[in-house]
Amino acid sequence: MKFCQNTLVMEQETPTVKLTRHFNKTFSVKKEEKGYKGLEYSIEWDFDKEQTRIPISTHGATKLADTFRKLGFTQIHPKGYNKFI
């Protein structure tokens, strides 16, 4: 804090963020090089401290990504993931 012309001014603090592998209410879609039983993509999501990843078709990935967005999930693109949708 400092005073400027009789006014109290709050200095901006840089927030610190602890990075973990869990980001609640996030999802990502990844194109698989060798898909499970011919499924080209996988979708992964984090919710309530639980991470889930499933293989999925192109159509399923598109529809499920839309559903996650409607439910308030944030799409992330971790290193190594190709932006799909």
**Over the stretch 31-72, which tens digit does the pLDDT of each residue have?**
887 777 878 888 899 988 888 999 999 899 999 999 999 999
d(CA 32, CA 40): 6
pLDDT at position 47, please?
87
**17-28 pLDDT tens trace:** 455 566 788 888
For the entire predicted model, the pTM comes to 0.63
Within 1-85, strands assigned E span 2-4, 7-9, 26-31, 41-47, 50-56, 74-75
d(CA 24, CA 43): 15
- Which residue stretches of 1-85 are H helix? 58-70
What is residue 7's three-state secondary structure?
A: strand
